[in-house]
Structure 1
């Protein structure tokens, strides 16, 4: 008994969701014994493209797309554009996107988010305005992406324009869009609008919304306010996640609250069930480094060994102004961990100049 198209699609989609490439390949191989169903049915082909794209097998995704003998629909074209974009093959993705006979908002979102993930916000912004010119209504995914683009280049004017577009579409009250707006205003230094956005959202904010507001103050160097908001979140009965605590530790660093920050780091596991990540450790090193306690920071990282990772050492390197001996020693270690990182080379040059 051979499986039908619905069964095959469900199996492939399950593999894609779980990131189980081996099982997905096995399902694909088994199709050969069921009459070449992947060639004759668009839904199966689309699912295979999605599977290979998510599992970083762009060439295989392209092969499936090209081998589909059935009529390719907008989902097929969108799937291959997304697969290529996810794998940083944006020139190919853009070429296929431009050749699409029909495009919908999902197609536009696939290429726009691809550019954002590749740290190319200007290209994403250009596509957004082209999308508007072609009369394609944006959805929440589009607006979240564009607000991230505005935040990433600290373009408050663009952020305000996108905000006005969300209001025109009546989507500014959406929780995901609202959180993206809050984050954009905070990262662009407009904490007043971040607060206004926060209070304009539905009551009973979740941890993501609270974390975005905390990050807004922390990003702007207002560590005291960030900690005040953090305590407000706890009083509201909302427990932090790892992202929240990165902002909290960063806030402590900005105001020189070493002991308070160290207390958060030491208790995050027992109080909130969160194990310190490389980001948390890097914040702890920055906390000590900004206070001039470089020897303690170095000893802390040496005790952590591999847990500290490259980020912690890079953070310590940035704090070594005036301590050429320590900087030279740490620079050697940083370059061994990540020899092609441009920022580390710049930091080292500035310190040793």
Structure 2
């Protein structure tokens, strides 16, 4: 078109921007943005401005989308929806809800699509109260009738917030259910520990002739991992392979590796990972945690090194999972080794969670004095999680002297910490120090713990 000497008009530019957003071509979209600005087309054209906001939002360039949005002379519901949708799709639920509130201040009222996005945001950030208010508004406007997208968004919001009864009720009232509706419900049950229920609905969905998608399969793999249902997990693995979905989603791939690792079949987990074209830190973390939980420390370290060779640096989460595994297995030496690797070989600065894991590890193994030394030397000693871990260890091993010291620090940081009073009273009671136990209980009441 341009080769023929014809210049695009605003409508043509809007269509091209939509195409750029659909394929994630942010660079091409930016060049078109420059051309639009050069021709002065953006000043009063809300359709073109909305197309630009939408393009940047879909490409994940949310800062750019916000900049364009703020410079527009006029914004309509569609413009706001484009920005809100972008924030929702890229995990910025809080920002999406902030835009929703600003939109209302401009006396613009959301349509069904915008409400669906906001409900997803409420679910992602666990804002049940706000989600319920939006539900009421949707009912007041009569928008829910026969709208499967909006109904599914409500199911998702309630499920993510853990209100599974309400999610179920909303799901049951849908005029029909598609794979997205089923996935929202199944994901909610899985996330909130009702894995058997999730599996039951998975089978019911299949019985209704609806094929699972990536989200459904991911949720089911997580459910299998949580309850150790290796046979079920293997069947789902076969289905994923037949559908050609393996390698299509990092979340799905990671869930599969994690399922085998948590079910104790780490060799299969490693085989799956090796067969993946692309893997990120979370995929490696699932495998490494699996090796650590089985006590295969050398193999875990080899995986850490292979990860580095792929240009991925181990993060705090990986070391936390390693230290937690050692703590629950009582592997003190391995825990110390991983903690040393953290800084010396991989250059990761230990954070509060790592120190808490080490204190917990030493405490569980009965090395109370060593745990105390770690606390005295760490830069985060003024933190309740660390003192709580030490106090719990003192109860386990009946150390009233150090326990009292840990308790005093814990309540100094939070005098209403109910758990600290309960643990300390229990520690005294176990040591037949009944008067001291009563004194702690009285102190808890006085401090309204």
Shorter-normalised TM-score: what interval? 0.7 to 0.9
- 1:24 aligned onto 2:100: yes
Q: Which residue of 2 aligns with 1:103?
A: 177
- 1:317 aligned onto 2:387: no
**Structure 1 residues 23-42: aligned runs within 5 Å:** 23-31=99-107, 34=108, 37-38=109-110, 41-42=111-112
Whole-Å separation in 2 of the counterparts to 1:28 and 1:144 = 36
- 1:200 aligned onto 2:270: no
Q: Which residue of 1 aligns with 2:340?
A: 263
The two structures have a TM-score, normalised by structure 1, of 0.81
The answer as to whether partners of 2:159 and 2:167 remain within 8 angstroms in 1 is: yes
Moved more, 288-297 or 56-65: 288-297
Whole-Å separation in 2 of the counterparts to 1:231 and 1:319 = 37
- Using the TM superposition, give the Cα deviation of residue 96 of structure 1 relative to its aligned residue in structure 2, in angstroms: 0.7
Q: Which residue of 1 aligns with 2:132?
A: 59
The two structures have a TM-score, normalised by structure 2, of 0.65
> Which of 323, 339, 349 matches 2:418?
339
Q: Which residue of 2 aligns with 1:4?
A: 76
Moved more, 256-265 or 179-188: 256-265
Q: 1:44 to 1:318 in 2, by over 3 A?
A: same
- 1:112 aligned onto 2:186: yes
Q: Which residue of 1 aligns with 2:65?
A: none
Q: Secondary structure, in 3 states, of the residue corresponding to 2:333?
A: coil
The answer as to whether partners of 2:359 and 2:389 remain within 8 angstroms in 1 is: no
- Using the TM superposition, give the Cα deviation of residue 99 of structure 1 relative to its aligned residue in structure 2, in angstroms: 0.9
Q: Which residue of 1 aligns with 2:40?
A: none
Q: Which residue of 2 aligns with 1:129?
A: 203
Q: Which has the higher contact order (CA 8 A, sep 6+)?
A: 1
The answer as to whether partners of 1:53 and 1:61 remain within 8 angstroms in 2 is: no
Whole-Å separation in 2 of the counterparts to 1:69 and 1:154 = 44
The answer as to whether partners of 1:115 and 1:123 remain within 8 angstroms in 2 is: yes
- Using the TM superposition, give the Cα deviation of residue 160 of structure 1 relative to its aligned residue in structure 2, in angstroms: 1.8
Q: 1:219 to 1:73 in 2, by over 3 A?
A: same
Q: Secondary structure, in 3 states, of the residue corresponding to 2:176?
A: coil
Q: Which runs of at least 4 in structure 1 moved beyond 6 Å after TM superposition? A: 334-337, 347-353
Moved more, 213-222 or 12-21: 12-21
The answer as to whether partners of 2:225 and 2:262 remain within 8 angstroms in 1 is: yes
Whole-Å separation in 2 of the counterparts to 1:351 and 1:226 = 39
- Using the TM superposition, give the Cα deviation of residue 188 of structure 1 relative to its aligned residue in structure 2, in angstroms: 0.9
Whole-Å separation in 1 of the counterparts to 2:312 and 2:257 = 18
The answer as to whether partners of 1:187 and 1:216 remain within 8 angstroms in 2 is: yes
The answer as to whether partners of 1:289 and 1:297 remain within 8 angstroms in 2 is: yes
Q: What is the aligned-residue RMSD (CA, Å)?
A: 3.5
Q: Secondary structure, in 3 states, of the residue corresponding to 1:100?
A: coil
- 1:140 aligned onto 2:214: yes
- Using the TM superposition, give the Cα deviation of residue 148 of structure 1 relative to its aligned residue in structure 2, in angstroms: 0.7
The answer as to whether partners of 2:398 and 2:427 remain within 8 angstroms in 1 is: no
- Using the TM superposition, give the Cα deviation of residue 351 of structure 1 relative to its aligned residue in structure 2, in angstroms: 7.4
Q: Which residue of 1 aligns with 2:29?
A: none
Higher-Rg structure is 2
Q: 1:349 to 1:211 in 2, by over 3 A?
A: farther
- Using the TM superposition, give the Cα deviation of residue 95 of structure 1 relative to its aligned residue in structure 2, in angstroms: 0.3
Q: 1:4 to 1:24 in 2, by over 3 A?
A: closer
- How many residues align? The count is 341
Whole-Å separation in 2 of the counterparts to 1:350 and 1:163 = 51
Whole-Å separation in 1 of the counterparts to 2:323 and 2:386 = 15
Whole-Å separation in 2 of the counterparts to 1:311 and 1:141 = 37
The answer as to whether partners of 1:317 and 1:327 remain within 8 angstroms in 2 is: no
- Using the TM superposition, give the Cα deviation of residue 15 of structure 1 relative to its aligned residue in structure 2, in angstroms: 5.9
Whole-Å separation in 2 of the counterparts to 1:312 and 1:146 = 37
Q: Which residue of 2 aligns with 1:49?
A: 119
- 1:240 aligned onto 2:305: no
